[in-house]
Amino acid sequence: MERALTDKNPKARYPVGKDARAQEVLRAILPTRVMDALLARVFGI
């Protein structure tokens, strides 16, 4: 959290939680729109 608040150029998203590594792998292979849709579905948004 501190890094997101203090970086000169913060990222749009930071992986958090137990599945952070899986998120990073998926983010590397999936387009942003697909990843956003997947996360929205998982979180029921």
pLDDT at 13 over 80: no
pLDDT score, position 22:
86
**What tokens were used for 4?**
């997101």
Does residue 4 fall inside a structural domain?
no
For residue 28, the enclosing domain spans 16-45
pLDDT score, position 19:
84
Burial annotation 9-39 (CB, 10 A radius, 16+ → b, else e): eeeeeeeeeeeeeebeeebeeeeeeebeeee
pLDDT score, position 40:
93
- In the chain, the number of structural domains is 1
What digits encode the pLDDT tens for the residues 20-45?
888 889 889 999 999 889 889 989 98
Does residue 3 fall inside a structural domain?
no
- Torsion from C-alpha of 22, 26, 28, 33, nearest 10 degrees: -140
